[in-house]
Amino acid sequence: MSAPAVFPTALVLSHLAFEDAGTLGDLMEERGFDLQVAEPALPSTRLPDPAEPDLVVVLGGPFGVYEEEAYPHIPGEIAFVERRLALKKPIIGICLGAQLMARALGARVYPSGTHEIGWKPLFLTAEGRQTPLVLLGEDNPMLHWHGDTFDLPPGIPNLARTESVTHQAFMVGNYGLALQFHPEIRAGDFERWLLGHAFELSARKIDLPALRAQTNTFGPGLASRSRAFFSRWLSLAGFP
């Protein structure tokens, strides 16, 4: 009698109900991952031992990693990410998740002085062109939604930039992937983002019709490139 199949587990740390793992989540399900979602900010949430999940994905959020007094869950989440990285077990950080990874590796995270909201070209560095990021396409627009940035952890090269923000991506060996931008976005989910971030968009005087039009233009093409990118990285991280 054959042994039952064992599927890899993926723990997704979510900070906003309307922002999920998107195309990355779809790909993980197709590749047989057992997805588990946790909300670190809730007092009732008890994160597992950082060594337990086969993969950890840390999504975006509307707060800064330096706002520990306002959001008391932050130190525990940083400690979780720090331990995960120390174990050299696969972890992906997107937007806030990338900032948490940078902070866990000893780098500074701080307001960038500008807010990138919308679709802006992503330029790969020479080092970035040697990574799966090349599958996202050279100089292609990516969705950005952040006001903070990070310094690079010691010894880690920058992989991508935009015209406004220099540090947009880094990798730690083949087990850590940090992305300041949002390749996971599904164009069909974007209206949820507009509703969820309505106050911020109004305060920043963002042109919503233009932002919708950009998403309709760039979102569908991004989906296939994003799947190819994440698929290549997952393979590098040891997932068949």
SS3 string, the chain, reads CCCCCCCCEEEEECCCCCCCCHHHHHHHHHCCCEEEEECCCCCCCCCCCCCCCCEEEECCCCCCCCCCCCCCCHHHHHHHHHHHHHCCCCEEEECHHHHHHHHHCCCCEEEEEEEEEEEEECEECCCHHHCHHHHHCCCCEEEEEEEEEECCCCCCCCCEECCCCCCCEEEECCCEEEECCCCCCCHHHHHHHHHHCHHHHHHCCCCHHHHHHHHHHHHHHHHHHHHHHHHHHHHHCCCC
Based on the residue annotation, tell me whether 138 is a catalytic residue of this protein. Answer: no
Based on the residue annotation, tell me whether 182 is a catalytic residue of this protein. Answer: yes
* Active-site residue (options: 15, 95, 144, 197): 95
* Active-site residue (options: 15, 146, 167, 182): 182
Based on the residue annotation, tell me whether 95 is a catalytic residue of this protein. Answer: yes
Active site residues: 95, 182, 184
